[in-house]
């Protein structure tokens, strides 16, 4: 019996002990809940914040709905912090809340595309926007940006004129072609060319030239979208004139040659030259279109680089149409340039796709100014930033590095080891893929930090500095850096030392 009682007592005792232990905790939880509720209640309302003098100032620059939305977001964020128990450590004064609102709006107003410093050693970096414009091109864009212009207006006749007349004149003068037209980029030029010349028909291309370039441009896919049918001939490494000849039949509309801009096939190879292709085209009365990719106007081999195909020489060799980019080696704005036989270019211009792919006035202005400088400049290599970066001497690059070193050391502090080293840069954007340009880099090391951490820190500078990592070391390539101060990071927004 007594055993039984004891058995029953034990749990009662236990419950009491538990209750005594738990009560303070429960009380604490309740008092915290009280505090949280009080803090939440005390937060100013949106209406109240809007009446604050600094908020009124914001309302002169931003619309009311936007400011209200941002106020709500800041208050939501603060509520979250209070609920997580940080209520005691955050300042809930109205001034501080408005300061947070201010900060949030400033951050939200930053353009998504910001200036960065390209110290990667890839001159035409597709991810960093490719070519930089010349001063002439920038001036031309500004001039047409905020005024009406005679874009499609013939001033002499006082009536509608042609949008691309001057560009066509410049392009034919520079390339020796009969006619020219311009679209938004080279991918669009290839699409327009294929659709105009071969919709519903066959286009013969070598298997060695079925390229894919960055951003998912692929010849087979573009071909399919153009409505033309791809007829691949030859093998990856070797294609012969007979391969084209044997594939030609009544449905064939075009022979296409594609410059293998971002790779090279080496070893046991055979390529049908443009001249051979033109001869086959003549025999069968078929046009030959060449997608040159970069397409240069000047011979870079004068400056110690390998020769990139020159547009005028391809026209001279008999290509019916040549397409190339405005913002690769040419060093102009993003555009697709098409030059060639007048009857074919006329057809392109009559194609409704041309209207869908056309450039805006800013592009046309920048392109015209760039082309005009190619026609007129006594020293084009100095005027086009891309060409200047290609052709700069290693001595000049090293001199920039020597000016930079002491300033960079001061900015980074003594725990960083920096030194100049010889290295190789590249052109990028698929031009001259195997070409290595001699360059000078600054290697930046810190025994406490990995190369990735250092790279990340440089990306937090204002403007962000983008270098490259090679064999676990962080390098800043100086080939594209003309002002050494560009590489002295401004870490105002984030400290580098940890
Ligand atoms: C770069 C390139 C293109 C695409 O040119 P975008 O101007 O980028 O549209 C097409 N074909 C070749 C061979 C290229 O190198």
What does 91-151 look like in DSSP terms, one character per residue?
A: ---HHHHHHHHHHHHHHHHS-SS---EE-SSBTT-GGGTSPPPPHHHHHHHHHHHSS---T
Whose alpha carbon is nearest atom 15 of ligand 1? 293
335 C-alpha to center of ligand 1: Å? Answer: 10
Whether the CB-CB separation of 92 and 39 falls below 8 Å is answered with yes
CB atoms within 10 A of CB 412: 21
- Give pairs for 283-288: CB < 8 Å, separation 24+: 284/248, 284/252, 286/248, 286/252, 286/253, 286/254, 286/255, 287/197, 287/254, 287/255, 287/320, 287/321, 287/341, 287/344, 288/254, 288/255, 288/256, 288/257, 288/318, 288/319, 288/320, 288/321
Q: Are 255 and 287 in contact (CB under 8 A)?
A: yes
Closest C-alpha to ligand 1, atom 2: 293
pLDDT at 497 exceeding the cut of 70: no
How many angstroms separate the CA atoms of 339 and 322, rounded? 5
Mean pLDDT taken over the chain: 91
Residue 327 has pLDDT above 90, yes or no: yes
Give the Å distance between the CA of 103 and the centre of ligand 1.
41
Convert the pLDDT of each residue in 117-162 to its tens digit. Answer: 999 999 999 899 999 999 999 999 999 999 999 998 899 999 998 8
**Quick one: what percent of the chain has pLDDT higher than 90?**
74
Q: Which of 217, 329, 386 to mutate to test the pocket of ligand 1 (most atoms within 8 A of CB)?
A: 217
**CA dist., res. 343 & res. 470, Å (int):** 51
Atom of ligand 1 minimally distant from the CA of 431: 15
Nearest CA to ligand 1 atom 3: 293
Q: Which residue has the higher pLDDT, 30 or 126?
A: 126
Our CA dihedral for 122, 124, 125, 127, rounded to 10 degrees, sits at 180
CA of 443 to the centre of ligand 1 (A): 33
- Say what the pLDDT of residue 19 is: 66
Instruction: Judge whether 477 and 428 are in contact, CB under 8 Å.
Output: no
Are 245 and 280 in contact, with CB atoms under 8 Å apart? yes
Parallel, antiparallel, or unpaired for β 288-293 and 153-154? Answer: unpaired
Contact 461, 425 (CB under 8 A): no
Using the predicted structure, report yes or no on whether residue 365 has a pLDDT greater than 80: yes
Contact at 8 Å (CB) between 222 and 194? yes
Cα(332) to ligand 1 centroid in Å equals 14
Secondary structure (DSSP) of 465-489 = EE-EEETTEEEEE-TT-SSGGGGS-
Q: How far is the CA of 293 from the centre of ligand 1 (A)?
A: 4
* HEC assignment per residue over 173-199: HHHCCCEEEEECCHHHHHHHHHHHHHC
Select from 311, 325, 332 the residue to mutate for testing ligand 1; criterion: most ligand atoms less than 8 Å from CB: 325
Kindly give the pairing relationship between strand 217-218 and strand 212-213.
antiparallel
pLDDT score of 236: 87
Cα–ligand 1 centroid distance for 377 (angstroms): 26
CA-closest residue to ligand 1 atom 14: 293
Q: What are phi and psi of 12, to 5 degrees?
A: -65, -45
Ligand 1 center from residue 369 Cα (angstroms): 22
Name the pLDDT band for 479 (thresholds 50, 70, 90).
very high
Residue 474 CB contacts under 8 Å (≥ 6 apart), including other chains: 443, 444, 445, 451, 454, 455, 458, 467, 468
Q: Which residues line ligand 1 (CB under 6 A)?
A: 185-187, 190, 211, 213, 217, 258-259, 261, 291, 293, 325, 336, 430
Atom of ligand 1 nearest to the CA of 430: 15
CA of 112 to the centre of ligand 1 (A): 25
Closest atom of ligand 1 relative to the 325 alpha carbon: 7
Residue 241 CA, ligand 1 centroid: distance in Å: 25
**Average pLDDT rounded to a whole number, residues 242-252:** 97
106 vs 200: CA distance, rounded Å: 53
- Residues 393-430 pLDDT 10s: 999 999 999 999 999 999 999 999 999 999 999 888 76
Give the nearest ligand 1 atom to 294 CA. 15
* Structural contact between residues 381 and 373, judged by C-beta atoms closer than 8 angstroms: no
**Rounded-to-integer distance, Cα 127 and Cα 439, Å:** 21
Cα–chain-centroid distance for residue 109? 21
CB 444 within 8 A of CB 474: yes
Show the beta-strand stretches assigned E in 135-287: 153-154, 159-160, 179-183, 202-206, 212-213, 217-218, 229-233, 252-258
pTM: predicted TM-score of the whole model, two decimal places: 0.86
Question: Which of 260, 261, 324 is the pocket-test mutation for ligand 1 (most atoms within 8 Å of CB)?
Answer: 261
Residue nearest to atom 1 of ligand 1 (CA): 293
51-55, 242-246, 287-291, 479-483: which range is least confident on average?
Answer: 51-55
**Strand ranges inside 263-368, DSSP E:** 288-293, 321-325, 336-340
Residue with token string 């400011």: 67
Residue 217 confidence (pLDDT)? 85
- Measured by CA distance, the residue closest to atom 7 of ligand 1 is 186
**Selected residue with higher pLDDT from 488 and 165:** 488
Q: What is the pLDDT of residue 23?
A: 67
182 CA from centroid of ligand 1 (Å): 14
Res. 262 pLDDT band, cuts 50 70 90? confident
User: Residue 372: is its pLDDT beyond 60?
Assistant: yes
Contacts with 154 (C-beta within 8 Å, 6 or more apart), sequence order:
160, 161, 162
Residue 5 reports pLDDT greater than 60 = no
Which atom of ligand 1 is nearest to 429's Cα?
1
Cβ partners under 8 Å of residue 445, min gap 6: 416, 417, 418, 451, 454, 473, 474
pLDDT at residue 432 tops 70: no
User: Cα-Cα-Cα-Cα dihedral of 183, 186, 188, 194, to 10°?
Assistant: 110
**3-class DSSP state for residue 342?**
helix
Q: Atom of ligand 1 at shortest distance to CA of 189? A: 9
Q: Long-range contact list for 125-128, CB < 8 A, 24+ apart?
A: 125/428, 125/429, 126/214, 126/215, 126/428, 126/429, 128/466
Please choose from 127, 129, 182, 187 the residue to mutate so as to test ligand 1's pocket, defined by most ligand atoms within 8 A of CB.
Answer: 187
Span between the terminal Cα atoms of the chain, in Å: 72
Least confident of 85-89, 108-112, 292-296: 85-89
């Amino acid at each position: 019996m007594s055993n039984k009682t004891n058995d029953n007592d034990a749990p009662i005792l236990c419950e009491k002990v538990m209750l005594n232990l738990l009560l303070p905790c429960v009380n604490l939880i309740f008092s915290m809940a009280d505090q949280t509720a009080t803090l939440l209640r005390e937060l100013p309302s949106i209406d109240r914040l809007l009446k604050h003098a600094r908020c009124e100032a914001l309302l002169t620059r931003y619309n009311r709905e936007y400011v209200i939305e941002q106020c709500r977001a800041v208050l939501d964020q603060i509520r979250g912090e209070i609920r997580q128990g940080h209520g005691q450590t955050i300042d809930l004064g109205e001034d501080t809340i408005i300061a947070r609102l201010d900060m949030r709006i400033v951050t939200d107003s930053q353009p998504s595309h910001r200036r960065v410093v390209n110290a990667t050693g890839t001159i035409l970096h597709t991810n960093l926007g490719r070519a930089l414009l010349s001063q002439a091109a920038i001036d031309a864009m500004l001039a047409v940006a905020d005024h009406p212009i005679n874009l499609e207006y013939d001033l002499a006749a006082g009536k509608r004129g042609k949008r691309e007349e001057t560009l066509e004149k410049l392009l034919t003068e520079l390339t020796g072609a009969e006619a020219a037209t311009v679209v938004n980029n080279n991918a669009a030029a290839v699409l327009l060319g294929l659709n105009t010349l071969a919709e519903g028909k066959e286009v013969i291309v070598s298997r060695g030239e079925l390229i894919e370039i960055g951003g998912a441009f692929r010849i087979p896919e573009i071909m399919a979208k153009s409505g033309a049918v791809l007829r691949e001939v030859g093998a990856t490494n070797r294609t012969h004139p007979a391969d084209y000849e044997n594939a030609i039949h009544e449905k064939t509309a075009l022979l296409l040659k594609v410059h293998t801009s971002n790779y090279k096939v080496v070893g046991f190879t055979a390529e049908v030259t443009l001249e051979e292709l033109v001869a086959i085209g003549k025999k069968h009365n078929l046009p030959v279109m060449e997608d040159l990719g970069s397409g240069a106007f000047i011979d870079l081999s004068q400056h110690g680089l390998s020769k990139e195909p020159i547009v005028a020489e391809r026209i001279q060799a008999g290509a019916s149409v040549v397409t190339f980019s405005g913002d690769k080696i040419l060093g102009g704005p993003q555009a697709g340039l098409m030059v060639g036989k007048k009857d074919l270019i006329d057809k392109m211009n009559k194609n409704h796709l041309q209207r869908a792919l056309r450039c805006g006035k800013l592009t046309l202005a920048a392109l015209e100014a760039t082309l005009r400088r190619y026609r007129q400049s006594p020293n084009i290599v100095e005027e086009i930033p891309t060409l200047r970066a290609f052709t700069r001497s290693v001595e000049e690059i090293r001199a920039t590095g020597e000016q930079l070193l002491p300033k960079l050391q001061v900015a980074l502090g003594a725990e960083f080891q920096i030194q100049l080293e010889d290295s190789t840069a590249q052109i990028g954007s698929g031009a001259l893929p195997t070409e290595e340009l001699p360059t000078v880099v600054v290697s930046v090391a810190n025994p406490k930090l990995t190369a990735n951490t250092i790279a990340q820190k440089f990306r937090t500078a204002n403007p962000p500095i983008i270098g490259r990592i090679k064999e676990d070391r962080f390098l800043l390539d100086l080939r594209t850096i003309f002002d050494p101060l560009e590489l002295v990071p401004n870490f105002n927004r984030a400290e580098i030392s940890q």
